[in-house]
Chains A and B, each alone.
Chain A
């Protein structure tokens, strides 16, 4: 295990071969997106001899991706901020109290972990319609905050149970009100798990498709997945144009991923040890 032997070399070759197989779809995505629209009948495997950025320009103009990116960002930031603040706040008494009510509330949240959102989606659609919130990104913020609350509370509660009480008690004796003690002392101590909560929720909210498809359809406030869905529906089988749109739509999340890959991977792996 210590040295680089010939066996390690073989393993390295096998792993790189596996990586190439995994990369094949991404390679095709790039090859198509840079292909001029006029170039038809070429093999899908071979890059164009005259690569072009025209598809990107056209996709940007026609798919409405600019406003969609803004909307996605708005919904994601709004939901994740609410989730972090409210779930950590809720997890605090749940983790500290041993009374019956705290166990009951925790059990209720855990039930929420198991409920597939398909069940709530339809009745909630009616409620949102009655409240005049269909087409409004606020509907999504409310939905995601409620939907992802159990998981976030679960992560924070697990972390808080393992956290020393010394600091918070000192702050309480200091005469700080409970809210101030929470935000100035407890919340900063939760930073490691907050990273996980943020990463998992950002990826979930940003990528979700079914909810915005329902709650925002027909409005001008699409998020990226729905904007791409509509765009591809319009230009079906114009693959170079479509793929350019898909690449633009993926740039924000991939940029974040590659910029903070270690943190993101830790978030996905660490949150689940809860």
Chain B
């Protein structure tokens, strides 16, 4: 109705003939382009600049200084913080752990997520319940799941008790206390919590495959494995790209679960870049050193996700 009134109002103008034809306004209407005011971006940009852009730039700047977080002034020290970082055994091993966690989480979480997605995308009767169920851990606060697993992993905890009850007591471990396996115990928690997330994205990909394609392959007599490889896999490429990007970036930034379960211990065995950044800044007041580590983390996130995205993009193109 409002549209009709607008048309009326416009057609009334020439007939009234009092005002001259208004060329600028009419011109805009005819061309079909209504300009949206550019200043609509300003409030969003202001928050983004205040909370992310400016502090990130300042962080990058501080990494070349000796700032301690308290003093007003600081001196530029060039690359000293970075030199210190790469000669610091703890920082180097934290970097190694971060890469290992990101890689392991990316591979295992997506493998499990894909299997779950294929399972709940089938004809099984429990598929709807199971979807809701497998995804549930992904919405629970990581602090909660981390404390839960800290108990499960403890020497007198539920995992050792469960192993004991099926006669595998000898396999029992101090899962988070043994520096050889603690890192893998952390990875298992992340996989448990977020496989359902990967599943949901794979599932969206699977459901976008038209039913006729399945039926055609049935008629061709293709078995389930051949069908998966030749038909399903190429069509899952976009979902795979999203999943791999999310788990890689999430793995590189990991903090909550590690800090709650081990605080980086035992003996730094589970330290990640994020836990070291936190400790150096807020427990040792080494703010400049800490920002240098954050810059290293940023570079790893940008470079690794860029490389992965470029590679997956080429794969998607080749498949299509």
Contacts and interface: CB of A to CB of B under 8 A. Distances in A.
B55 A172 contact: no
Contact of B48 (A18, A29, A150, A268): A150
Interface string A213-253: 01000000000110011001000000100110010011001
Contact of B291 (A122, A165, A206): A122
B136 A142 contact: no
Contact of A228 (B119, B133, B143): B143
A28 B135 CA distance: 19
A171 B139 CA distance: 39
Nearest to B255: A210
A210 B301 contact: no
A44 B157 contact: yes
A122 B290 contact: yes
The listed residue with most B CB atoms (<10 A of its CB), out of A108, A121, A239, A261, is: A121
Contacts of A97: 35-36, 38
Nearest to A270: B204
B252 A116 contact: yes
A161 to B, nearest CB: 13
Kindly state the interface size class of chain B when it binds its partner.
Answer: 35 or more
A172 B136 CA distance: 44
Interface string A109-128: 10010111111111111110
A188 interface: no
Contacts of B274: 118, 210
B43 interface: yes
A169 B29 CA distance: 8
A214 B136 CA distance: 28
B51 A96 contact: no
Interface residues of A, number: 101
Interface stretch (A8-16, A47-55, A56-64): A8-16
A210 B50 CA distance: 19
B314 interface: no
Contacts of A25: 145, 148-149, 152, 158, 192
A97 B35 CA distance: 8
Contacts of A44: 156-158, 161
A90 B55 contact: no
Given A207-B141, A224-B141, A246 B147 contact: yes
Contact of B36 (A1, A93, A150): A93
Given A1-B214, A122-B290, A269 B201 contact: yes
B192 A122 contact: no
A258 B135 CA distance: 11
Contacts of A225: 141-144, 256
A206 B291 CA distance: 26
A87 B148 contact: no
Interface string B46-89: 01111111111011101000000100000000000000000000
Nearest to A41: B156
Contacts of A109: 48
A15 B139 contact: no
Given A45-B158, A120-B59, A115 B298 contact: yes
Contacts of B197: 268
A169 B43 CA distance: 23
Contacts of B218: 1
A229 to B, nearest CB: 6
Given A82-B47, A96-B36, A115-B56, A126 B41 contact: no
Interface string A173-202: 111001000100000000000000000000
Interface of B: 2-3, 5-6, 9-10, 29, 32, 34-38, 40-41, 43-45, 47-56, 58-60, 62, 69, 116, 119-120, 122-126, 130-145, 147-149, 151-152, 156-158, 161-162, 165, 192, 197, 200-201, 203-204, 214, 218, 238, 242, 246, 249, 252-253, 255-256, 259-260, 273-274, 277-278, 281-282, 287, 290-291, 294-295, 297-298, 301-302, 305
26 contacts: A15-B119, A19-B130, A25-B152, A44-B157, A44-B161, A45-B162, A90-B40, A93-B36, A97-B35, A109-B48, A115-B301, A118-B298, A123-B291, A124-B55, A126-B69, A149-B44, A149-B47, A165-B34, A169-B34, A182-B40, A207-B140, A228-B147, A239-B151, A257-B139, A268-B138, A268-B201
Shortest Cβ-Cβ A-B pairs, 3 listed: A146-B51, A90-B44, A120-B55
Given A89-B44, A114-B305, 11 more contacts: A1-B123, A12-B125, A15-B126, A29-B148, A44-B156, A120-B59, A122-B281, A123-B56, A173-B10, A207-B141, A207-B143
